[in-house]
Amino acid sequence: MSISEPTVFIVDDDAAVRDSLMLMIEQEGIAVKTFNNGDEFLAAYQPECLGCAVIDIRMPGMDGLQLQEELCQRNILLPIIFLTGHGDIPLSVKAVKAGAVDFLTKPVTRDALLSSVRSAILESKRLIAQLENGQDAKSRLADLTEREREVMALAVAGSPNKEIARRLGISHRTVEIHKSKIMHKTGAINLLDLARIANEGGL
C-alpha cells in the first residue's frame, strides 16, 4: 500500500488549467500528476495511493461526475475536489452529496485550492488508516472457529460467561477456554479492545 508521498491527480481537458493548477500545488512541495481525461487517469491510477484528485466537472467524453461514479464502483478511496464553472452549482451540489470533499469555482485562487488540497489529503490519510485497520482486524479474526465467533459476539455485546454458556449450551469452563483462545488469536488486550477489532473487522 503506497502511503508515503501525497500526490494530487489533476484531471482536466484544458492544458492551461492543468499547468496552472500544477504550478500552484508543486510550489507547496506536493507531487502532482496531470491527465487530459478520465480514461487516462483510470489507466494510470494505482489503488490506495495517498492524495486526492482535482477533477473538472465538465469534460468531453467521461465527465467529472461519471469519473466519480466509476471510482466509487471500483472502491477507490480517493477524495475528490471538483472544478466547476459558475453555471455548474447544481452539479456541484450533486457531486458533494455523492462524496466529493469540495468544489471550487473557476478561476481557482491559490489559497482556496491549497486549502482544499490539504483537507483532502488529510481525509485520504484517514481513509487509508481506516482501511488498514479493517484489514488488520479481519486478519486477526480469520483464525477464529465458528464457535469462537459466537462466543466473541456475545462477549462484546456484554453477556457474562454464565449467560453465554446458557445460550450456547456449553459449560462455564468451556466459555472461559474459548475466550482465552479468542484473546490470544486476536491479540486483544481486553474486552474493549476485542470489541474494536470485531467492529473494524466487520463483525
**Domains in the chain: boundaries:** 7-135, 143-200
Q: How many residues does the chain have?
A: 203
Residue pLDDT, tens place only, 154-167 = 999 999 999 999 99
Instruction: Say if residue 99's pLDDT is above 80.
Output: no
Q: Shortest CA distance to 71 belongs to which of 91, 93, 101?
A: 101
> What pLDDT, on a 0 to 100 scale, did the predictor assign at position 1?
41
Distance CA 151, CA 157 (A): 10
Span 143-200 CATH architecture: Orthogonal Bundle (1.10)
> What pLDDT, on a 0 to 100 scale, did the predictor assign at position 16?
94
Instruction: Say if residue 143's pLDDT is above 80.
Output: yes
Distance CA 42, CA 13 (A): 15
Question: Does the predicted model carry a pTM greater than 0.75?
Answer: no
CATH number belonging to domain 7-135? 3.40.50.2300
Residue pLDDT, tens place only, 116-138 = 999 999 999 888 888 888 788 88
- The string of DSSP letters for 158-179 reads T--HHHHHHHHT--HHHHHHHH
Distance CA 161, CA 148 (A): 13
> What pLDDT, on a 0 to 100 scale, did the predictor assign at position 41?
95
Distance CA 137, CA 131 (A): 10
